[in-house]
């Protein structure tokens, strides 16, 4: 089964990928392929836009129209693609630094506009590609090469930010729980407006080592043991939820999608 997915959705001549052994990004990339497969999308109609980072390298491995752009700007490029050709299925893969630091403003505004793009964020709580500097999602007190004495910034909750900014579908999955995460991505793509799926990844090479999290297996085990479903979280206190990953569909709301609204303007102006 897995190999059939590889045949159909990956560019085999460009594999193996550059990711370290144990890295969560490969699993998440597979989840994206599985979601596209489950939805039966035409590959020619799928545009995958990424930024810069280990996570963003996924674009080069996947057999769609792919655009590996500049650091933080994937959503801005994708906005141009989607506005120009709304019939295309536009998906963005970004890292946590990519999407929430340098690209944070684009995330907020894509959400505010409710443009029909699916934003998938591979969040490993660290800048992987540049060697382990702390990111906007590095937990308080944890270490990075640029936070040698512990991070004193408060981390972002990307899902909360996206929801507050107007994303009409938000969800959180993990690299550990491929089945659930695939479903969430699938729902995100199916959703008409702007959707954000934060996917907890792992970076054993930098985050893991710097913070003594053990092996990649230990880090996946941590994800398993600390994931709490949205349903279960409802009955838990804030104290109990500290340090936990709330997984599942977090929010859904209604607002007209941007390119559909613009089409109406065109029709009105042209008197159709």
Partner 1 sequence: MKQMKLMQGNEACVEGAIAAGCRFYAGYPITPSAEIAEGCAVRMPQVGGKFIQMEDEIASCAAAIGASAAGVKSMTATSGPGFSLKQENLGYACLTEIPFVLVDVQRAGPSTGLPTSPSQGDVMQARWGTHGDHPAIALSPSTVEECYTLCIKCFNLAEKYRTPVIFLMDEIVGHLRENVEIPEEGEFEIVNRTVPASPAEAGPAYACKNGSLIPEMAPFGHGQRYNVTGLIHAADGFPTNSTEIADAQVKRLVAKIEENLDDILAWEETDLEDAEVCILCYGGTARSAQSAVEALRAEGIRAGIFRPITLWPFPGKRLEEISRKVKKVLVAEHNNGQILLEAERVIKNNCRIDFIGKVDGTVITPDEIVRKVKEA
Ligand X SMILES: Cc1ncc(C[n+]2csc(CCOP(=O)(O)OP(=O)(O)O)c2C)c(N)n1
Query: Which chain residues interact with Mg ion by CB under 5 A?
Result: 95-96, 124, 128
Query: HSE on the CB side for 222, CA within 13 Å?
Result: 17
Q: Quick one: 233 exposed, middle or buried, by C-beta within 10 A (0-12, 13-18, 19+)?
A: middle
Stretch that binds ligand X, among 26-34, 61-69, 120-128, 231-239 (CB under 6 A): 120-128
Question: Closer CB to ligand SF4, residue 79 or residue 205?
Answer: 205
Tokens of 27: 């699993």
Mask 54-73, x = binds partner 1 (CB under 8 A)?
Answer: -----xx--xxxxxxxx--x
Say how far apart CA 158 and CA 131 lie, in whole Å. Answer: 22
Question: Closer CB to ligand X, residue 98 or residue 187?
Answer: 98
Backbone angles phi, psi at 104, to 5 degrees: -60, -40
71 makes contact with ligand X (CB under 6 A): yes
Question: Closer CB to Mg ion, residue 17 or residue 37?
Answer: 17
Asked if 9 and 36 touch (Cβ cutoff 8 Å), the reply is yes
25 makes contact with partner 1 (CB under 8 A): no
Backbone angles phi, psi at 123, to 5 degrees: -100, 105
Question: Closer CB to ligand SF4, residue 54 or residue 162?
Answer: 54
Per the document, the length of the chain is 272
Q: Out of 34, 50, 55, 118, which residue is the one contacting ligand X (CB under 6 A)? A: 55
Question: Closer CB to ligand X, residue 123 or residue 168?
Answer: 123
What minimum distance in Å lies between the beta carbon of 3 and ligand SF4? 23
Q: How many residues bind ligand X (CB under 6 A)?
A: 17
Tokens of 25: 């990004």
CB atoms within 10 A of CB 65: 17
Asked if 144 and 151 touch (Cβ cutoff 8 Å), the reply is yes
Whether omega before 105 lies within 30 degrees of 0, making that bond cis, reads no
Residue 73 near which of partner 1, ligand SF4, Mg ion, none (CB within 5-8 Å, type-dependent)? partner 1
Q: Out of 206, 210, 247, 250, which residue is the one contacting ligand SF4 (CB under 6 A)? A: 206
Contact residues toward partner 1 (CB under 8 A) are 11, 14, 43-45, 47, 49, 52, 59-60, 63-70, 73, 76-85, 87-88, 105-106, 108-109, 262, 265-266, 269-270
């Amino acid at each position: 089964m897995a190999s059939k997915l590889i045949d159909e959705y990956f560019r085999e001549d460009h594999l193996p990928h550059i990711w370290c052994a144990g890295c969560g990004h490969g699993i998440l990339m597979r989840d994206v392929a599985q979601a596209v497969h489950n939805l039966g999308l035409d590959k020619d109609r799928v545009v995958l836009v990424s930024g810069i980072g280990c996570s963003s390298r996924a674009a080069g491995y996947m057999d769609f129209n792919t655009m590996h752009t500049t650091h933080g700007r994937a959503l801005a490029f994708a906005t141009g693609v989607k506005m120009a050709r709304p019939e295309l299925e536009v998906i963005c893969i970004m890292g946590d630094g990519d999407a929430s630091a340098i690209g944070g403003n684009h995330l907020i505004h894509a959400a505010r506009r409710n443009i029909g793009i699916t934003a998938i964020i591979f969040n490993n709580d660290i800048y992987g590609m540049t060697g382990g500097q702390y990111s906007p999602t590095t937990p308080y007190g944890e270490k990075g090469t640029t936070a040698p004495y512990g991070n004193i910034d408060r981390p972002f909750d990307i899902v909360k930010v996206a929801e507050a900014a107007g994303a009409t579908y938000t969800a959180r999955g993990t690299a550990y729980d491929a089945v659930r995460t695939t479903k969430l991505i699938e729902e995100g793509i199916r959703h008409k407006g702007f959707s954000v799926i934060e996917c907890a990844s792992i970076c054993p090479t930098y985050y893991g080592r710097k913070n003594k999290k053990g092996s990649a297996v230990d880090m996946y085990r941590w994800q398993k043991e600390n994931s709490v479903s949205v349903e279960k979280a409802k009955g838990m206190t804030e104290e109990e939820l500290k340090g936990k990953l709330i997984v599942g569909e977090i929010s859904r709301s209604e607002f007209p999608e941007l390119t559909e609204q613009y089409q109406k303007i065109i029709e009105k102006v042209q008197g159709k």
